[in-house]
Amino acid sequence: MTYHGILPINKPKGMTSHDVVFKARKLLKMKKIGHTGTLDPDVEGVLVLCLGKATKLVNYLMESPKAYQGGIFLGQATETEDASGAVIASQPVLNPLTDAQVDQAMAAMTGEIQQIPPYYSAVKVKGKRLYEYARTGQRVERPVRQAQIYDFQRQGATLYDPQDQSQSWNFQVTCSKGTYVRTLAVDLGKSLGYPAHMTWLQRTMAAGFSLDQTYSLAWLDQASPSQIEAAIYSLDHVKKILPWLALKPDQVFSIQHGQVVDQDFFDQDLSQATALYYQNQLLAIYGPHPDKAGRLKPFAMFPDL
């Protein structure tokens, strides 16, 4: 049986995102499965799988905001920017920060920010991934990335350890695609005057799905085909991510055949990728032509859904 739709999985720690896709391919007995944003092996939480024809939605679902909860440790920095790496810098927190000081620093990091990706990441520089340079001790100039932080807040009170002379607290953040939450923790520490690292992380929302909407791989292993079918979200979930419009009968032929059309072909301007429906059926995603001003082209087609 081939499934077409979206299945949010709760990725466990210790697995890569590719591991989850590989496992799902075996359990569902189908090859055409993609995911909407990589999670590090140490990170658990929402990993959204796109099955069959829904793989055409991957790029659009990836663009939606993501939410995480995790922990920050103030007083030590690590080579990986999380708890798995060796300590590379230490500074005792002699006078604990107040919750108000922490909150003010976190609030200052909302909006559009710049980040330098960690060395232990998959960003490519001169054809090699940064973690490949890191493993051989090489240093290269890392690219500056833009990220959008919509919300960054402390969860619970900060905890000061007088023996370790360190301070820690939990946080929640809502951010754009491409945000390095590890780096966010490190940069927050710098703004407070201390080396820091992220202690744990869980993705709580991605592609419009929250943690309570996910299924475990153990459930997937035991579920019947009818249970799996019932758990899969239809491609109509794209309406939560993209604008959409209903076609008129005389527009259907052109859209079904993937024709490039004028901007005024529709009753409204399509300034971004838009899902096109006819009789409650998703036919295509159209948007501005990259090379022809005033023209619209298909980005994805969904025949015979």
The catalytic residues are 40
Q: How is the chain classified by DSSP, letter by letter?
A: ----EEEEEEEPTT--HHHHHHHHHHHHT-S-EEESS---TT-EEEEEEEEGGGGGGHHHHHTS-EEEEEEEEESEEETTSBTTSPEEEE---SSPPPHHHHHHHHHTT-EEEEE---SSS--EETTEEHHHHHHTT---PPPPEEEEEEEEEEEEEEEEETTTTEEEEEEEEEE-TT--HHHHHHHHHHHHTS-EEEEEEEEEEETTEEGGG-B-HHHHHH--HHHHHHHSBPGGGGGGTS-EEEPPGGGHHHHHTT--EEGGGSSS---S-EEEEETTEEEEEEEE-SSSTTEEEEEEE-TT-
